[in-house]
């Protein structure tokens, strides 16, 4: 009996650790404690969203394991983070009784899509980033225009670009906006959620935390100087992509001890502001959110350039 329990724990515990790492991989960190901090931040904000997040990342991890994915990649959480984001996004942006099922189905499809993108990009040495999540989520949301059972929430309204006007009025609470920059990575707003996520990032290492802070700060200031909508800055929507870009370019994929890493991370954070504005504009007629596409594009530019340029 005791050996059976031991055997069961030997399978369950590594799976749970890999699942928590899948959560932390959203911020490009492989650390199960960081994952716990993030899951706590999500669950405190919304129990339902926390449950969707956990189930989605577990589905992705399970697909990687049962489907015969690379064991190292599975244990690192690389099959879990894209499905987690898809599940959360679909649950938040679609309404109706079918949203739960569609969210979990989206997580399942994203896991398979992640495997295909990993295979496709392996010869190039380029990382998967969040492309599977972005593409799958956009496709599911676009299908709502043709399927009666799927309906976008009222906050996502297609707009005619020719009649759209920039509105920069309104005050900015800089402290809450700064903290919300971390929360918006997971569609969250609130001091407690943002602080828990920052704590989780710092737990993984001081360098991770510092790059997250700097990327967030640079993007917020850049957005303000360039005249971005104050409401979006205040909600942290110009910071979250920059945090991910700074972590990716400055720490995770910097290619050794490059002295240019802080500069490229800063430039990448600035670039995300321009990309957020442009991607939002492109998607305006479809009522879709930018998600993490600005981060994925900005990071890919620098990682790709480093393949042939030594000092990037």
Q: How far apart are CA 234 and CA 12, in angstroms?
A: 41
CB atoms within 10 A of CB 147: 12
What pLDDT sits at residue 154? 85
What pLDDT sits at residue 169? 85
**Given pLDDT bands bounded at 50, 70 and 90, which one contains residue 8?**
very low
**Given pLDDT bands bounded at 50, 70 and 90, which one contains residue 10?**
low
Q: What is the pLDDT of residues 69-107, one digit of tens each?
A: 889 999 999 999 999 999 999 999 998 888 899 999 999
**Regarding predicted confidence, which is higher, 259 or 169?**
169
Question: Would 180 be classed as within a structural domain?
Answer: yes
Could you give the 3-state DSSP secondary structure of residue 31?
A: coil
What pLDDT sits at residue 98? 84
Are residues 114 and 74 located together in one domain of the fold? yes
What pLDDT sits at residue 312? 57
Q: How far apart are CA 293 and CA 236, in angstroms?
A: 16
What pLDDT sits at residue 3? 37
**pLDDT (average), residues 189-206:** 97
Are residues 167 and 302 located together in one domain of the fold? yes
Q: What is the pLDDT of residues 293-308, one digit of tens each?
A: 999 999 999 998 887 7
Question: Would 230 be classed as within a structural domain?
Answer: yes
Question: Would 290 be classed as within a structural domain?
Answer: yes
CATH of the domain at 209: 1.10.3430.10
Are residues 261 and 300 located together in one domain of the fold? yes
Are residues 82 and 215 located together in one domain of the fold? no
Q: How far apart are CA 244 and CA 266, in angstroms?
A: 12
Question: 104, 121, 152: which is the final residue of a domain?
Answer: 152
Are residues 165 and 142 located together in one domain of the fold? no
DSSP 95: E
Predicted model pTM: 0.92
What pLDDT sits at residue 256? 55
Are residues 98 and 176 located together in one domain of the fold? no
What pLDDT sits at residue 257? 56
Are residues 121 and 205 located together in one domain of the fold? no
Question: 87, 118, 152: which is the final residue of a domain?
Answer: 152
Asked if residues 246 and 28 have their Cβ atoms less than 8 Å apart, the reply is: no
**Given pLDDT bands bounded at 50, 70 and 90, which one contains residue 2?**
very low
Are residues 124 and 251 located together in one domain of the fold? no
- The yes-or-no verdict on residue 149 having pLDDT over 80 is yes
Are residues 173 and 253 located together in one domain of the fold? yes
CB atoms within 10 A of CB 71: 12
Range 225-254 burial, b when 16+ CB lie within 10 A, else e: eeebbbebbbbbbbbbbbbbbbbbbbbbbb
Residue among 172, 171, 185, 187 at smallest CA distance from 215: 185
Q: What is the pLDDT of residues 95-147, one digit of tens each?
A: 888 889 999 999 999 999 999 999 999 888 899 999 999 999 999 999 999 98
Structure tokens at 260: 């240019």
Question: Would 105 be classed as within a structural domain?
Answer: yes
Are residues 28 and 79 located together in one domain of the fold? yes
Residue among 114, 11, 3, 101 at smallest CA distance from 55: 101
Q: How far apart are CA 124 and CA 50, in angstroms?
A: 35
Q: What is the pLDDT of residues 202-247, one digit of tens each?
A: 999 999 999 999 999 999 999 999 999 999 999 999 999 999 999 9
Question: Would 311 be classed as within a structural domain?
Answer: no
Residue among 189, 197, 241, 190 at smallest CA distance from 39: 197
**Given pLDDT bands bounded at 50, 70 and 90, which one contains residue 170?**
confident
Question: Would 4 be classed as within a structural domain?
Answer: no
What pLDDT sits at residue 165? 84
What pLDDT sits at residue 159? 86
Looking from the CA of 32 toward its CB, the CA atoms found within 13 Å total 10
Question: 124, 152, 180: which is the final residue of a domain?
Answer: 152
Asked if residues 162 and 192 have their Cβ atoms less than 8 Å apart, the reply is: no
Q: What is the pLDDT of residues 253-287, one digit of tens each?
A: 876 556 788 999 999 999 999 999 999 999 999 99
**pLDDT (average), residues 19-31:** 97
Are residues 57 and 118 located together in one domain of the fold? yes
Residue ranges making up the domain that contains 266: 161-306
Going by DSSP bridges, is the β-strand pair 151-152/94-95 parallel, antiparallel, or unpaired? antiparallel
Count the domains in the chain: 2
Residue among 232, 236, 253 at smallest CA distance from 296: 253
What pLDDT sits at residue 255? 61
Range 89-104 burial, b when 16+ CB lie within 10 A, else e: bbbbbbeeeebbebbb
Q: How far apart are CA 56 and CA 45, in angstroms?
A: 17
Are residues 166 and 298 located together in one domain of the fold? yes
Angstrom CA distances, 13 to 16, 70, 222, stand at 5, 18, 44
Question: Would 244 be classed as within a structural domain?
Answer: yes
**pLDDT (average), residues 192-199:** 98
What pLDDT sits at residue 157? 83
Residue among 188, 153, 185 at smallest CA distance from 46: 188
Question: Would 312 be classed as within a structural domain?
Answer: no
């Amino acid at each position: 009996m005791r050996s059976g329990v031991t055997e069961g724990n030997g399978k369950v515990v590594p799976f749970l650790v890999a699942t928590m790492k899948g959560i932390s991989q959203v911020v490009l960190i492989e650390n199960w404690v960081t994952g716990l901090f993030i899951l706590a931040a999500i669950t405190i904000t919304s129990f339902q969203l926390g449950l969707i997040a956990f189930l989605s990342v577990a589905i992705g991890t399970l697909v990687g394991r049962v489907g015969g994915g690379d064991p190292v990649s599975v244990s690192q959480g690389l099959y879990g983070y894209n499905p987690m984001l898809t599940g959360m996004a679909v649950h938040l942006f679609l309404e109706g009784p079918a949203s739960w099922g569609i969210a979990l189905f989206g997580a399942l499809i994203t896991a398979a899509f992640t495997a295909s993108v990993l295979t496709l990009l392996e010869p190039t040495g380029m990382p998967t980033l969040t492309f599977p999540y972005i593409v799958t989520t956009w496709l599911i949301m676009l299908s709502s225009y043709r399927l009666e059972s799927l309906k976008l929430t009222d906050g996502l309204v297609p707009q005619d670009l020719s009649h759209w006007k920039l509105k920069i009025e309104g005050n900015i609470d800089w402290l809450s906006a700064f903290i919300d920059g971390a929360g918006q990575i997971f569609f969250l707003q609130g001091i407690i959620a943002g602080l828990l996520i920052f704590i989780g990032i710092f737990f993984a290492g001081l360098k991770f935390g510092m790059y997250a802070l700097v990327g967030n700060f640079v993007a917020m200031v850049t957005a303000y100087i360039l005249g971005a909508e104050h409401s979006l800055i205040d909600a942290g929507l110009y910071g979250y992509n920059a945090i991910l870009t700074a972590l990716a370019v400055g720490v995770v994929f910097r290619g050794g001890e490059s002295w240019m890493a802080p500069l490229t991370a800063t430039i990448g954070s600035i670039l995300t502001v321009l990309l957020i504005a442009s991607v939002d504009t492109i998607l305006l007629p479809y009522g879709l959110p930018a998600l993490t596409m600005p981060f994925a594009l900005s990071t890919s530019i620098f990682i790709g350039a480093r393949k042939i340029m030594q000092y990037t």
